[in-house]
């Protein structure tokens, strides 16, 4: 008969609890009883899981400190509604015959109170039937359902609070993860531990085709009766994209040209036109449609171009601010993923022309080169005072080394003529003098300035 204690007694029992070293053994059970250490917040020292508590003939407790006053058991109502349990003492051990499963036991001694809960697994066994791939998949998660029996295993604290004892059912599957260092998608194995069977929500979603494998639970594993099932092949619904941008020219503000822009950065691209940038897109398994968008605004309200290729190269010739992003979607367009937004800034054109240099191979100012930015057309001619053309080039990153027909010319005054067009539409027509400064060169002869007849 269950005796109702005043609530104050239940509170006193809980507050007086302390962990005492004791052990519990069982007789008559066909399989070992699983012992789990209790959480201090529950007031339970141990939780015992018996394969079938009805098989247990007796339960023996040893190692209790002090004199045992009484033993009570309680249900989901908590310790305030505990009832007396008959027990006997033999060789210093406390004996309880035919203990009832799914009950908590309070052990009151002269030095305090200890407690444990006994789970009857047979009343709530695990049986795995199937793994269903639910049709209501979304873009942010993957939903599956494990059917069969295997509801949560509950136990109760001293004050009647319901707790869940995890079955530790193992769910295994494959998915994709982005490898930043190698710029590839790696297929990786994932595991999720479940307290019980039922509907399972996976966040982030699964990005690759895979089967789901379920095995458990941890109690059947101890009893060497672990169950396993496998689903049919799952086709992902969610999509993931990544992208990469690399610039191999541009960003020049002076005559030192040719350095690569840092690859993969979302900003810092562009600089001087023409700016050649390659864009590369990477997609997960479910992506069927891809598109690169180029716009004049970061919100992509004004889209200039759309490129359906997964990878493409583009040469920026006009001054301005550009925004580029990569988009991927699944077959029916229900899921869409957007990659990083790249900012490309093409500056206004500029042309700066030096008027002197000293080609003496000392590593300083040995080549006459213009400083420039955003020139999409360029042509330069160099003459002597008699009008003979000594040098001609069309790439503004090139320059004149002070030689004519392979030999160094004499110090003195020479002349240039430049025609150029900027990315901003500005036209340049420049002419002026170039002074080759006096210098002494060792081991190399010079030639006189060629006459007009040469």
Can you tell me the distance from the alpha carbon of 56 to that of 348, in angstroms, rounded to the nearest whole number? Answer: 89
| CA–CA dist 250, 432 (Å, integer) | 27
pLDDT for 454: 41
Over residues 47-70, the pLDDT tens digits come to 999 999 999 999 999 887 767 788
Greater pLDDT, 154 or 12 = 154
pLDDT, position 439? 63
Over range 145-174, report the average pLDDT: 96
Contact 291, 306 (CB under 8 A): yes
Structure tokens at 321: 């601010």
**Which of the four pLDDT bands, split at 50, 70 and 90, describes residue 112?**
confident
Split at pLDDT 50, 70, 90, the class of 13 is very low
Per the prediction, the chain carries an average pLDDT of 87
pLDDT for residue 265: 53
Cβ contact 414:378 at 8 Å = no
- Supply the pLDDT for residue 100: 95
- Residues 315-361 pLDDT 10s: 999 999 999 999 999 999 999 999 999 999 998 999 999 999 999 88
Asked if the model's pLDDT at residue 164 lies above 50, the reply is yes
pLDDT digits (tens, 9 = 90+) for 219-251: 999 999 999 999 999 999 999 999 999 998 755
Structural contact between residues 321 and 343, judged by C-beta atoms closer than 8 angstroms? yes
Joined together, the tokens standing for residue 101 give 């499963």
Our CA angle for 34, 220, 101, nearest 5°, is 50
Is the pLDDT at 14 greater than 90? The verdict is no
pLDDT confidence of 368, banded at 50, 70, 90? very high
pLDDT over 90, % of the chain: 73
**H helix runs in 152-310, sequence order:** 218-222
Are 379 and 398 in contact, with CB atoms under 8 Å apart? no
pTM of the model: 0.74
In angstroms, rounded to a whole number, what is the distance separating the alpha carbons of residues 208 and 346? 39
User: How far apart are alpha carbons 149 and 422 in whole angstroms?
Assistant: 75
- Cα–Cα nearest to 197, from 220, 176, 224: 220
């Amino acid at each position: 008969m269950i005796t109702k204690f005043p609530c104050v007694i239940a509170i006193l029992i809980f507050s007086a609890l302390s962990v005492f070293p004791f052990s519990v053994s069982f007789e008559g059970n066909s399989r070992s009883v699983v012992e789990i250490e209790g959480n201090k917040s529950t007031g339970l020292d141990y939780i015992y899981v018996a394969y079938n508590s009805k098989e247990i003939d007796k339960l023996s407790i040893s190692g209790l400190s002090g004199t045992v006053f009484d033993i009570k058991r309680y249900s989901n109502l908590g310790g305030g509604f505990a009832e007396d349990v008959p027990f006997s003492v033999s060789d210093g051990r406390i004996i309880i015959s035919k203990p009832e499963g799914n009950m908590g036991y309070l052990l009151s001694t002269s030095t305090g109170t200890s407690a444990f809960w006994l789970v009857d697994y047979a009343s709530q066994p695990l049986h795995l039937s199937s793994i269903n791939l639910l049709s209501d998949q979304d873009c942010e998660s993957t939903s599956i359902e494990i059917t069969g029996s295997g509801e949560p295993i509950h136990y109760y604290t001293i004050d009647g609070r319901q707790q869940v004892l995890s079955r530790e059912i193992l769910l295994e599957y494959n998915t994709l993860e982005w490898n930043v260092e190698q710029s590839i998608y790696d297929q990786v194995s994932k595991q999720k531990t479940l307290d019980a069977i039922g509907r399972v929500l996976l966040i982030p979603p699964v990005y690759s085709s895979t089967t789901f494998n379920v095995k458990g639970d941890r109690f059947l594993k101890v009893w060497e009766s672990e169950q396993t099932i496998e689903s049919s092949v799952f086709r992902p619904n969610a999509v993931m994209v990544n992208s990469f941008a690399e610039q191999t020219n541009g960003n020049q503000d002076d005559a030192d040209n040719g350095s690569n822009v840092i690859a993969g950065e979302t900003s810092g691209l562009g600089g001087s036109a023409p700016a050649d940038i390659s864009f590369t897109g990477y997609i997960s398994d479910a992506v069927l449609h891809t598109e690169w968008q180029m716009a004049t605004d970061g919100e992509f309200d004004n889209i200039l171009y759309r490129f359906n290729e997964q990878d493409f190269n583009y040469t920026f010739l006009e001054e301005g601010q550009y925004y580029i992003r990569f988009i991927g979607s699944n077959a029916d367009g229900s899921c869409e993923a957007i990659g990083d937004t790249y900012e490309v800034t093409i500056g206004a054109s500029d042309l700066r022309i030096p008027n002197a240099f000293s080609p003496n191979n000392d590593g300083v100012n040995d080549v006459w080169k213009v400083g420039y930015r955003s020139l999409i057309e360029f042509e330069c001619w160099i003459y002597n005072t008699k009008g003979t053309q000594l040098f001609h080039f069309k790439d503004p990153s090139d320059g004149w080394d002070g030689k004519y027909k392979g030999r160094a010319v004499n110090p003195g005054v020479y002349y240039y003529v430049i025609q150029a067009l900027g990315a901003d539409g500005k036209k340049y027509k420049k002419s002026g003098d170039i002074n080759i400064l006096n210098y002494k060169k060792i081991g190399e002869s010079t030639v006189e300035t060629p006459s007009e007849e040469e």
